[in-house]
Structure 1
Amino acid sequence: MGAFEDGELVGLQGQDFDDDLIKIPRRQARSNIGTRILMQRCAASATLLGATSHVMMRLAQKFDAVRLVVFNPCASAVTAMKASVSAGGSTAAPLNSGGAWKGVTWAGGAGTVNLPLTADAQNPSITLSDWIDVEGDDSRLLSVRIYVPAGGNVEHPIHSASVVAANMENYPDREWIMKNQVGDFVGAPAGMNSAGSINVGMVAGVQYMARGEVLSVFGFGDSIMQGFGSASGVDSHALKGVASVAGETGAAIEFANMGWQSQTTAQTLARLSAAVPLLKPHAVIYAAFSPNDGDPDAAKAAAQKARLARARAACADVGATLVPVTGLPVNVSAVASKYSDGADDMRKSVNDVVRALDNAVDIDVEVADTTRPGKASRFRTVAAGFPVDYTTDFLHPTDAGYAAGAPKIARALRKLL
């Protein structure tokens, strides 16, 4: 269910698709379906078998119904997962154990679900629950619980939000609080009394029917998109850009963090190709280059450009707007690039294709000492004569490095409002 079903895309008929990367007209960006993904990156684990994962999150809009989004990276069976949801609560009492809880159903009414397996732990299966009527109040707070029994299961999906934990303190209007406790507190919600907040859990995210328009933005890429900076807990340029637009305009904007540490562009595209048709975001921020592909050369650059075209086509199929971002330099030290001049020219050739597209975001020009061909770029650092360190580990941006690119993300998103 959604505002744009198959065959109902707006403005795609009669368009001229005459270049090799496809000209994609923009649709009316927002709808009444919001998507919040705390983090797609997940792994098979046994740490929370027989325990309940709880997340309280503040959504961007008031809501009337929700459905859960569950990712499964496990190669063995995950059976009898169950969940419940509750509206309301407070940050002072995030468990909302005294609230009105509703059991989540699956596949048209089942009280539990067996998660589809995946052949690739780096590309988890995606399961959606049924839509559950839950009337949110002015707080926009939603609590979600998931329980996987220990009996019959050897592992389950687990998400770590440690690298984006700053979201809770930096953006109090979009915060989440995570808790876990041994026992089934889906069936008996009043008994949960976990005191400490944690940064791992089984809850990935939700979609919701909002009472107003929402712009749902997905960010696909590697650790740089995920928000892993030179220091843990740094928010990515994408999240900073989303927060900036929401704060300045008052628009309801949701961000789905689909960044995944250490993934290649091929792995990122595989996840995008699975998630975008099912979850139908309104905009997709996509990293066309990744150092995880290996040192750049002509063949890698050609493959990255082809994947960019496929990402644009996947977005076009559901009427989503692609917001491609340029790839960043990689240093071997504070004053030297990791790549040879010729290798870095291949990275720059991918960036040139990105820059030629509609809605392109050029972050490279903000953090690199040069974008000219013929000389390998490097992150700007104090040791190299620049006023601010845009990296300290020579691979990921610092908070200042992410902040340098955020205004361009914000500018691209404002066009969709």
Structure 2
Amino acid sequence: MSFESLALAPALLEGLKALDFTTPTPVQAQSIPVILAGHDLLACAQTGTGKTAAFMLPIMTRLLEQPGSGVRALILAPTRELAQQVTQHACAYAACTELVTVCLHGGSNIGPQEKALREGADIVVATPGRLLDHLIKGTLNLSAIEYLVFDEADRMLDMGFMGEIRRIMRKMPASRQTLLFSATVDEAIFNQVKDWLKEPKRIGIEVQNQAAERVEQIFYAVDEERKRELIAHLIGKQNWHQVLIFTRTKKQADEYAKELNKDGLKTQAIHGDKSQGARNKALAQFKDGEIRVLVATDVAARGIDIQQLNYVINAELPYVAEDYVHRIGRTGRAGEAGTAISLVSIDEQWLLEEIEVLLDERLTPQWLSGYEPDLTREPKNERQNSTKSRRQRDKKRVLGQRGKRRR
């Protein structure tokens, strides 16, 4: 199948040709005809499979085929970085058209955004909070919206945006077409949004909550205080470049960046307390290879899209198992191979079990020579104590594997 066979607007095909896009990904091949046919859609596909083009190309085709005025398409994204990424892709797809996409997000001056809206926009990509700012100020009118897209819908709802979204929905025309795209989805999410959808088609549900297929997942059991040392060892010994590290908190992100710089690895941290300018600069330096390591919290890392990013390290496992899927989906994108390494302390064994349940897969941490965990330690609370027997089983399993290799 080719993009030419999907009934997209000729000007968009010209733009895709310039981008060297020839064959649609599975989610694009399945979604584009459904959207062009006018159906609401709930699409679940692994991160890095081309979801942005899957909704943006058919929407743009319809906008070009049926001219109108005002903002006619709205894409909601949970984070600034994702909103910026979607906008960049939209502008690239529409390079051979006169369609205008405007990005609205917090962390930057609202004045230039107001100016861009006054000059005219066909498509708006926005975070919920900043979109509400414009609605309250009267600088944006949603009465002409024909297409509404929730990108990373699960994360938007998990991050507590439901109140803002409900207020936004009251400003939307009932006749719109609504599309939800996400790397993970379940019935709980569907129940929250089903009133906004009209007999939606569902695509890709069979791959929900799966890790990207081309990502090698490696788990190391290690004591908490030795994680930073192990990370520096892995990066230095293997001479890795462009390594994305995840932490759970802003404080930990800053601490890891500080210590890794001391280890001689040029590192920056990005999180919600950093200004948007600082986050953009750090991301640009990371993409250009000026810095070797980027440490990020889950929220700040949404929207990071680097085709050749080969390594992701979970310095700390996430509290929400679905975030693990999103994290490791930063590598192995667009069909490329990638490696995701997760460091697991005794106090995180219960988090590993949550990920196992989500993926329906047994995940046994390895022991790296010189960084073996202290097995005399006890977990800090009863919930973690429940994993003690599992820890002993893993010890026997790893020792058994080592014995086989010796033989």
TM-score bucket of the superposed structures, by smaller chain: under 0.3
Structure with the higher fraction of residues in strand conformation: 1
TM-score, normalised relative to structure 1: 0.25
Greater Rg by CA:
2
